[in-house]
Structure 1
Amino acid sequence: MLVSRKVAGTLFLGGGIAFTLGSLLYPSMLGVQKVSSAPDRVIARPATGPLTEADRDFVVEVRAAGLWEYPVGQMAVQKGTTKAVKTAGEHLIAGHGSLDAACRGVAGELGITLPNQPSPQQQGFVAQLNADTGKQFDADMATILRATQGQILSTIASVRTTTKNSLIRALADKTNDTLMDHITIVEKTGLVDFDKALSQSANPPGLPAQDTTPPPPVAGQPQVVLPPAANSKVSPGSVGGE
């Protein structure tokens, strides 16, 4: 039996979805603190195993991460001032292009509705980095990415060890491989302010839920696709490789 739900929980890289079966709503609240009252609640029982609220939120969190980190990767390739920053951008593009395809595939099989835009908070990261130039862009990109990437690691570990759904397990494995590659390559820029990144990761700001919730997709709107980079030499999932 599907249970109607209006509140979902995530971490700093917030995200929210609505299950397309029955009358479940796109969550009205999502945020940097866990607000779900029952993350272990089973909301569907597909052939691949029970699907919980936490599983569902994880799929959308992966999607939301790609929707803002992919364009940041494009910025890094275009205006990064060092080879290391440009290489980090290439990894973001290749990694999220591949991961988003897997995420959309899992969402389609499980009937999960995905957002087409990141949260307002994540859009703010993109706007800040778009306005940055030169060395300031390089430094801000490395630190912001490292802070957000550090947080989602705990989410992956939690979902991977608790989910009973085989598709979610496979997505968690792929997300972990992609994330470790991105963390490694961002750190190789030598520009991460670790004090700031770790502080933001451990103590995310208590933003209003509307700032950390990706808007629901517009009815009839085509699903946004993050294409793999043409002629990319980066192999998604090969940690730290160039």
Structure 2
Amino acid sequence: MIGLQKVTSAPERVIATPATGPLTEADRDFVVEVRSAGLWEYPVGQMALRKGTTKAVRTAAEHLIDGHASLDAASRNVAGQLAITLPNQASPQQQGFVATLNADTGRQFDTDMATILRATDGRLLATIASIRTTTRNSLVRSLANQANGTILDSVTVLEQTGRVDFNQVLAQETTTSGLPAQAVTPPPPVAGQPQVVLTPAANSTFSPSPSVR
């Protein structure tokens, strides 16, 4: 199994040659990143359904839950075919985002949720674009296509809440975190632990934002 940790700092290095095309370190890391994003944004969506103070925030929550449930199924499928080990937990940094939002209440929750997610999804969109244009693996390319639609939809509905602090978003997107690798890397799964599966909300009425259909 191809592990979570980066073996080298050479993203273009080919680490496997399946029938679907050469698999690079960057491809592997992307599949893991998609999975990791869902592992924290999905529970934040569930939290926003309970704590959001406006209909727009709760609508964004529905998109987060169902969008990431669908994307998670795709990432698990691709990982299974490419023998990529997926995490069962988000990175420590991402878990910290969840803890911050769990402590928030009222309109502060709305603002922090929309701003943090908008910033992290903006960064993810840049990664998706890079992978989509460079990968030679058809499964990774297909996942990038789906991820692009899902994350762009999330960005759109987050902006429609009217609670995004764009000054903070710009600051977060244009500066490096300076965190050590272990803080931004999801931990490997515990041996024998069942794989976490993200499921759509019951009676979901989710549909992509009109702007990205």
Q: Same fold (TM over 0.5)?
A: yes
Unmatched 5+ stretches in structure 2:
none
- Check if 1:199 corresponds to 2:161: no
Q: Residue 194 of structure 1: CA displacement?
A: 0.3
SS in 2 for 1:219: coil
Question: Are residues 1:42 and 2:14 paired?
Answer: yes
Corresponding position of 2:189 = 217
Residue matched to 2:159: 187
Indicate the residue corresponding to 2:98 in structure 1: 126
Return 5+ residue gaps in structure 1 as ranges.
1-19, 30-35
- Which structure shows the bigger proportion of residues in helix conformation? 2
Are the structure 2 counterparts of residues 110 and 28 from structure 1 closer, same or farther at C-alpha, using a change threshold of 3 Å?
Answer: closer
Shift of 1:198: 1.2
| 1:145-189 deviations in Å (ceiling 9; x for gaps) | 011011111111110001000000100000000011000000000
Whether 1:178 and 2:156 are equivalent positions in the alignment is: no
- Give the deviation of 1:204 after TM superposition: 2.9
Q: Once the 2 structures are TM-superposed, how far is the Cα of residue 208 of structure 1 from its aligned partner?
A: 1.4
TM-score by length of 2: 0.96
Question: In structure 2, do the counterparts of structure 1 residues 239 and 226 end up closer, same or farther at CA, with 3 Å as the change threshold?
Answer: farther
Write out aligned runs for 1:101-180 (5 A): 101-180=73-152
Q: Which residue identity is paired with 1:86?
A: R
Change beyond 3 A, Cα 1:139–1:238? closer
Which residue number in structure 2 is paired with residue 80 of structure 1? 52
Q: Secondary structure at the match of 1:27?
A: coil
Question: C-alpha deviations, 1:68-90, integer Å up to 9, x for none?
Answer: 00000001111100000000000
Residues in 1 aligned to 2:75 and 2:95: alpha-carbon distance in whole angstroms: 20
User: For residues 1-40 of structure 1, what are the structure 2 equivalents within 5 Å?
Assistant: 20=1, 25-27=3-5, 36-40=8-12
Count of matched residue pairs: 212
Tell me if the contact between 1:156 and 1:172 (Cα under 8 Å) persists in the aligned partners.
yes
Of 19, 25, 35, the residue aligned with 1:63 is 35
Work out the CA distance in 1 between the residues paired with 2:111 and 2:134.
36
Distance 1:25 1:193 in 2: 36
| AA at the equivalent of 1:232 | S
Give me the TM-score of the superposition, normalised by structure 1: 0.85
AA aligned to 1:69 is E
Structure 1, residues 184-234: CA drift from partner, whole Å, max 9, x if none? Answer: 000000010001011101113111112111110000100000011111101
State how far apart, in whole Å, the 2-side matches of 1:118 and 1:99 are.
Answer: 15
Counterpart-to-counterpart distance in 2, 1:239 and 1:103: 24
> What SS does structure 2 have at the residue aligned with 1:72?
helix
Contact 2:78 2:140 in 1 (8 A): yes
Q: Which amino acid aligns with 1:209?
A: A
Q: How far apart, CA to CA, are the structure 1 residues paired with 2:59 and 2:147?
A: 19
